[in-house]
């Protein structure tokens, strides 16, 4: 009797951009096909397609789990359940490739990178026909130690893999669904900072032969093909040759693929795409902000984006625009402007994904290894591009999340849906209506998460409201005089003036501890106190640092009777300054748009415009004299 191998790809616990439109990933299908061809009894569960039958899972001889970052928690829960039943667990995928130590806390084996050869060498070793220590790309337990063998070189001969058999997927009916994925290549030559693909599949471009791709289309005979390459047109000559063969063979189902803007500037390629029945393209525009494009290392311009949209519209090819929002050069106005331009360009659909530091991406190293960003959450299920998990620079995490969802709601408005219907573009009408419904459900499901983000902005203001029952509201903020005398001081005065509030300076001697009347001099006169925070004493600023530490200790000792203190970070570049100012602004207005404008007109501007500092300085002198 054949041994049973069950492969599972868990789904995200949160709604996401593809929740209503399942485009299956190929990993578990390919591995299942290879296992079946070697005589195993195989079950393949893709949870986005059909529920996982735990009776089947727990009857397996080996269970394999494929893991993305956003599905890691549920993958680990499943792995723990299977291990408790005494069944070996093999886990693979992008997330665990870069965090194998974490994955081994839940699984017996981690297959890193491309898993075809590693998995079968592992099976041989488990059955006594190989040496575990010689298997490249494998992480595993040896006694109480976690061992990580060297990486396996990337697979060059992709044609040696069989054609993935969708019939192995429980609940899948190719004829009914009419959609399949076909990967014609692996790897991406570009280096976008937010992307983990090159880390997983390399910068080199490895290809299936054209004959193999044609055969895969012929065998599956789908109504629609999603070419699941990371960049379908990376080698334009090869793409042209493939499309010509599809036309010659009469194998032209509707198809879509991920491409870059440059594709639109090759008239021959554009013509072949249309002739071969290209239905839609998924374009990583990423941003309308030229500074953000540079920051992402995207190597494209805003002007190229506009020209590519015009070319695809002229060719009659639908566009799904993909954008990443929340970079250091973005603010919430950029995000809403993105959705407005997408409507103006008449894109059929868009996704605005929040910048997320995924393991394996350069951004992950930047956020985690260097500590250049304050991460708000380590719950991997939130790392799906729809939840703000870090503190952005020019907006609060709450504003970022609200803007990302709100801008998509603006795009998928009844007005835009009606325009598509009036153009008799019924496909776009259906997609847009489905997206509108999905966003409504997302808000309902994530109401608690958004409220949690909002509370981090307004919690200090709510503390101030409670304390105002003892002291009347004064619409004033207390700021240490040594802060007002610093470069930031003039900006702070102007910032609060734009919010209709004023600054009350107080001396650092307040924190000396020897003056019994110190507290009475500020009690009832301010709604909150600015508590400057420096993480370390920089050279030449030791005295300044000591004043801050003394004030911090004094406020801690008088916490019950002193006004509410709001931390103001002075030497962090991760968005803490803006978030602190948003908390302070919330004391005087519930309107975060107003706070945002005040910040841009004062604090953000004063960093780049010395003349503004001189303009505001007389106001500061007058108030502190």
pLDDT over 70 (residue 305)? yes
Beta strands in 149-291 (DSSP E): 179-182, 185-186, 206-207, 224-227, 254-259, 278-286
Q: Is 147 exposed, middle or buried (0-12, 13-18, 19+ CB in 10 A)?
A: middle
Q: What is the mean pLDDT of residues 473-488?
A: 84
What pLDDT sits at residue 615? Answer: 34
Contact 377, 367 (CB under 8 A): no
Distance CA 383, CA 367 (A): 13
Distance CA 227, CA 247 (A): 16
Distance CA 286, CA 324 (A): 5
Q: Which pLDDT band, with edges at 50, 70 and 90, does 20 fall under?
A: low
List the one residue out of 162, 221, 172 whose CA is nearest residue 44.
172
Q: Is 449 exposed, middle or buried (0-12, 13-18, 19+ CB in 10 A)?
A: middle
- The string of pLDDT tens digits covering residues 162-199 is 999 999 999 887 655 678 999 999 998 888 888 998 88
Contact 17, 385 (CB under 8 A): yes
pLDDT over 90 (residue 489)? no
Domains of the chain with CATH codes: 4-148 (3.40.50.280), 173-411 (3.20.20.70), 457-624 (no CATH)
Strand 254-259 relative to strand 528-533, pairing:
unpaired
What pLDDT sits at residue 173? Answer: 77
Q: Which pLDDT band, with edges at 50, 70 and 90, does 203 fall under?
A: confident
List the end-to-end C-alpha distance of the chain, in Å, as a whole number. Answer: 91
Dihedral sign for Cα atoms in the order 195, 201, 206, 208: negative
pLDDT over 70 (residue 464)? no
Return the half-sphere exposure (C-beta side, CA atoms, 13 A cut-off) of residue 613: 13
pTM of structure: 0.90
Distance CA 331, CA 247 (A): 46
What pLDDT sits at residue 506? Answer: 81
Edge-to-edge strand ranges of the sheet holding 179-182: 179-182, 224-227, 254-259, 278-286, 318-325, 349-354
Q: Which pLDDT band, with edges at 50, 70 and 90, does 369 fall under?
A: low
Q: Which pLDDT band, with edges at 50, 70 and 90, does 563 fall under?
A: confident
Q: Which pLDDT band, with edges at 50, 70 and 90, does 408 fall under?
A: very high
pLDDT over 60 (residue 412)? yes
Distance CA 194, CA 324 (A): 9
pLDDT over 60 (residue 624)? no
| Bigger pLDDT: 271 vs 523 | 271
Q: What's the Cα-to-Cα distance from 158 to each of 116, 187, 528, rounded to whole Å?
A: 10, 12, 64
Contact 400, 332 (CB under 8 A): yes
Contact 90, 119 (CB under 8 A): yes
Distance CA 452, CA 65 (A): 32
Q: What is the mean pLDDT of residues 294-323?
A: 92
Strand 349-354 relative to strand 318-325, pairing:
parallel
Q: What is the mean pLDDT of residues 440-464?
A: 91
Write the DSSP symbol of residue 260. Answer: -
Longest CA span, the chain: 92
- The string of pLDDT tens digits covering residues 137-161 is 999 999 999 999 999 999 999 999 9
pLDDT over 60 (residue 614)? no
Q: What's the Cα-to-Cα distance from 26 to each of 7, 106, 229, 330, 561, rounded to whole Å?
A: 12, 24, 11, 35, 62
């Amino acid at each position: 009797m054949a041994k049973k191998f069950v492969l599972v790809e868990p789904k995200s616990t949160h709604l996401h951009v593809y929740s209503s439109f399942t485009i299956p990933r190929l990993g578990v299908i390919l591995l299942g096909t290879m296992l079946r061809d070697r005589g195993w009894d195989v079950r393949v569960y893709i949870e986005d397609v059909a529920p996982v039958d735990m009776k089947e899972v727990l009857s397996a001889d080996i269970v394999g789990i494929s893991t993305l970052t956003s599905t890691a928690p549920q993958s680990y829960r499943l792995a723990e359940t299977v291990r408790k039943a005494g069944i070996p667990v093999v886990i693979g995928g992008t997330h665990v490739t870069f965090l194998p130590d974490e994955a081994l806390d839940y699984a017996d084996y981690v297959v890193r990178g491309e898993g075809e050869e590693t998995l079968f060498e592992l099976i041989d070793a488990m059955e006594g026909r190989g040496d575990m220590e010689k298997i490249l790309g494998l992480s595993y337990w040896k006694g109480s130690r976690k061992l990580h063998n060297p990486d396996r070189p990337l697979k060059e001969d992709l044609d040696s893999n069989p054609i993935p058999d969708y019939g192995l997927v429980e609940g899948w009916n190719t004829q009914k669904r009419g959609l399949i994925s076909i990967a014609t290549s692996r790897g991406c030559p570009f280096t976008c900072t937010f992307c983990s693909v090159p880390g997983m599949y390399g910068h080199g471009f490895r290809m299936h032969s054209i004959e193999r791709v044609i055969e895969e289309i012929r065998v599956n005979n789908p109504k629609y093909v999603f070419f699941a390459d990371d960049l379908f047109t990376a080698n334009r000559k090869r793409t042209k040759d493939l499309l010509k063969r599809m036309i010659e063979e009469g194998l032209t189902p509707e198809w879509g693929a991920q491409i870059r803007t440059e594709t639109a500037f090759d008239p021959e390629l554009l013509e072949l795409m249309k002739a071969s029945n290209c239905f839609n393209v998924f374009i990583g525009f990423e941003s309308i902000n030229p500074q953000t494009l540079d920051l992402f290392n995207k190597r494209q311009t805003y002007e190229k984006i506009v020209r590519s949209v015009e070319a695809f519209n002229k060719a009659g090819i639908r566009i799904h625009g993909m954008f990443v929002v929340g970079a250091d050069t973005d603010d919430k106005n950029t995000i809403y402007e993105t959705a407005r331009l997408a409507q103006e360009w008449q894109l059929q659909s868009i996704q605005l994904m929040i910048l997320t530091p995924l393991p394996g991406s350069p951004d992950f190293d930047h956020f985690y290894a260097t500590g250049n960003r304050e991460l708000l959450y380590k719950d991997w299920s939130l790392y799906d591009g729809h939840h703000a998990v870090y503190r952005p620079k020019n907006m609060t995490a709450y504003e970022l999340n609200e803007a990302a969802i709100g801008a998509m709601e603006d795009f998928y408005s009844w007005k835009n849906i009606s325009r598509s219907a009036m153009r008799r573009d019924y496909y776009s009408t259906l997609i847009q209506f489905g997206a509108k419904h999905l966003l409504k459900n997302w808000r309902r499901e994530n109401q608690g998460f958004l409220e949690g983000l909002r509370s981090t902005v307004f919690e200090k203001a709510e503390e101030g409201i409670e304390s105002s029952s003892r002291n009347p509201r004064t619409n004033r903020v207390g700021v240490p005089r040594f802060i007002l005398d610093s470069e930031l001081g003039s900006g702070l005065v102007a910032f609060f003036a734009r919010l209709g509030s004023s600054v009350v300076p107080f001396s650092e001697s307040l924190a000396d501890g020897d003056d019994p009347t110190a507290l009475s001099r500020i009690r009832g006169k301010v709604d909150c106190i600015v508590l400057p925070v420096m993480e370390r004493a920089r050279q030449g600023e030791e005295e300044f640092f000591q004043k801050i530490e003394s004030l911090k200790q004094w406020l801690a000792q008088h916490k019950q009777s002193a006004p509410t203190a709001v931390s103001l970070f002075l030497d962090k570049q991760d968005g803490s300054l803006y978030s602190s100012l948003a908390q302070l602004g919330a004391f005087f207005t519930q309107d975060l748009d107003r706070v945002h404008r005040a910040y841009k007109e004062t604090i953000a501007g004063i960093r780049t415009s010395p003349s503004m500092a001189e303009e505001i300085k007389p106001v500061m002198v007058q108030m502190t004299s």
